[in-house]
Amino acid sequence: MAALTLKDLIKREERITPGHRLCPGCGEALFIRQALLAVDEPVVMAVATGCLEVSTTIFPFTAWRIPWIHCAFENAASTIAGVEAAYNALQRRGKELPRIVFMGVAGDGGTYDIGLQALSGAMERGHRMIFICLNNEAYSNTGYQRSSATPIGAHTTTSPAGKAIPGKPQHRKNLTFIMAAHEIPYVAQTTVWRWRDVVEKVRKAAQVDGPSFINVLCPCVPGWGINSDETVEISRLAVETCVWPLFEVEEGTKWTLNYRPKEKLPVEEWLKPQRRFAHLFKDEKGREVIRALQERVDKEWEFLLRLCGEG
């Protein structure tokens, strides 16, 4: 499968139109456009309630040029698994159908938390589908509440920084590792900073004969407290600090690191530009949280290097 160039991508028909209502600079908008351009085959998509859904399908308008299903917060995986099962049933009855790529999409709230059971079940059953987590590290659509993807120390509406707590008290859950533990054919972690990494991982997932999972870091402009032109830079800093490493896992056992920073930056470089972490730099209590996050990032990075044979 030859790599796609930017010239190849711009010649393809857009599958999500301009004029949707996602925020300027939204990481989800950047990713989903790239992901759909990457796939050669027809796509059917199920999208859970969230920013992507409410901003692209305000009745009576739609930004989608593909068959598209809106489902509840927690059941995007179940919905697209059902579509794939119906497709297989038609084929068994002799219906001639083109190869279709089935995509389930949800935010981190609908993936890490309330949709985890449905996702795990679909992965275990072996449906040929790609599940994509648009990870903006909170329940952004409903007012930016904390999720289990929210980093320690982040200020959210349900973990407000103040005298009681310095932002969210807990570390985030490592969902990409949880999905790899399912030993499905393909698992990957990416972000919108490196478009080629996004495109190649989506293309690889689309060719898998079974379930695949992609966890993509999608900065949220209002929730993270960044400017609309800083999305890609914040994504870069997440990778360069190893807060969000780029890697892939095949069949649960073959781990590959896709990018290794020449100089691993301290996590402060990622935290400083975001207003949701501004309180951490005001006192020693906040500094303790930064140190705890740095220790966790260092520990996870060293573990990942060993898994990828680079430790």
Domain 6-307 homologous superfamily, CATH: Thiamin diphosphate (ThDP)-binding fold, Pyr/PP domains (3.40.50.970)
pLDDT, position 64: 97
Pairing of strands 101-107, 254-257: unpaired
What would the pLDDT profile of 125-144 be if each residue is shown by its tens digit? 999 999 999 999 999 999 99
User: Where is 132: in which H helix or E strand?
Assistant: strand 130-135
What confidence score (pLDDT) does residue 268 get?
98
pTM (2 decimals)? 0.97
Place of tokens 């579509």: 83
What pLDDT does residue 229 have?
Answer: 97
- Residue written as token pair 């790239």: 34
Q: What is the rounded CA–CA span in Å between residue 211 and residue 243?
A: 26
Question: 177-208 burial, b if ≥16 CB within 10 A, otherwise e?
Answer: bbbbebebbbbbbbbbbbbebbbbbbbbbbeb
3-class secondary-structure state, position 222:
helix
pLDDT digits (tens, 9 = 90+) for 291-300: 999 999 999 9
* Tally of residues, the chain: 311
Q: Taking the domains of the chain in order of start, what are their residue ranges?
A: 6-307
What is the structure's pLDDT at 2? Answer: 79
Q: Cis (ω within 30 of 0) for the bond into 261?
A: no
- 104 forms bridges with which residues in the sheet? 46, 131
Beta strands in 175-310 (DSSP E): 186-191, 212-217, 247-250, 254-257
- The two beta strands, 130-135 and 212-217, are parallel
Positions of the chain with pLDDT lower than 50, given as ranges = none
- According to the model, what pLDDT value does residue 83 have? 98
Integer Cα distance of 257 and 259 in angstroms? 6
